Structure 1
Amino acid sequence: MTDALERLRALDACAVSDALDTLGLPGATVGLPPLWPVAGVVAGRVRTVRAGAKQATGPAGHIAASVVDSTVAGDVIVIANDGRTDVSCWGGILTTAALRHGVAGVVVDGACRDIGESAAAGLPVFGRAAVPVSARGRIVQVAAAEPVDIAGVTVHEGDWVIADANGVVFVPAAHTGAVLDLAERIVAREARMVAAVQAGGAVATVMHDDKFPTAVPE
């Protein structure tokens, strides 16, 4: 696990997305940028949460609170809220708790609030919008550690995620080795492409489709 995490942290979302494309695997999302500028790469194991409308009367536990309490250093909390932007499901107090556990970042297919607090605290949060509207009395956690839909991608507890200024990409746990191997080859090949262009090569030739790595090593 540690080796896979270190390898993932050395990549970026674009290289991993390209590797998934070449292997015919889903994982890259659209519409989930960082909610403020994030330096570098966020990577880690996925902890899933599914939010939904509050049905029962009376008080309820806050979304993601129990999951935060069970996280370990390097986890990334991933909250599915069907892309809703009218209500928040992450905020400043959760950020404080998450940082105490060493959480690496948060991905929300929906909205967040208190983003100034989270930004100042240094916890990267990726999502669709910032809103002031509280989850309390509106939405609750309906499941955890179960498969969730994040921007059209099915994500499982224990999958990997990499997120940066380009967006969010998930790596299915069963394909971790193949994706990392190919992403590393892509990064190495693109470095050679940059060197070729800097040396005066025609970019039309350098970037031709036949110059990019295939799923099977040449």
Structure 2
Amino acid sequence: MTVSEKDLLRAKLDEVRGALLWKLDGLGEYELRRPMTPTGTNLLGLVKHTASVELDYFGRVFGRPSGIALPWLADDAEPNADMWATPDQTSAEIIALSRAAAERTAATVDALDLDAEGTVPWWTRNPVTLRQILVHVTAEYARHAGHADIVRELVDGSAGMRPGATNLPAVDDEWLTDYRQRLEAAAHEAARRSDARVRIDA
């Protein structure tokens, strides 16, 4: 059976969204919100951010607003307001927001052709197509799912790609300790051999 391009794009977006949500599983309110990097990256904030932008991309961009208020995306909102949840915003509400975003996306994808055009108010290159937005939002989710992988491991040591498929080698803690020590030694040796700084040309 041949799978359509639209179904492939939809499935990949569903997959990375699910991978990000899974990183919340089993945690309490503090662990969900705890900032684990100097810039404040936290698990619940990643879900709030991705759900919010998904609602906008598959809603307002194609003239199909969700009707869900997103004050943290307003022009006058404080910086990073979409990247963390206040104590008044429950984790259940943020997860429900993600579910609502998924439903809005499904409805828009069902209703429109991949070549259907929309306008992204905060982009300079318009119009855009549904195909472009599916790819863009999937990339956005994939980036933040990677962030969530690292944050969750920092929170409680849990790691893996998704339920039933961790994509990790079957090794014990002793092996991992030795592995990290070998990586640390390799890093020191490489630095001893060269003090050059990597520069990536744009």
Q: TM-score if structure 1 supplies the norm length?
A: 0.27
Higher RCO, Cα 8 Å, sep 6+? 1
Larger Rg: 2
Q: Which has the higher strand share?
A: 1
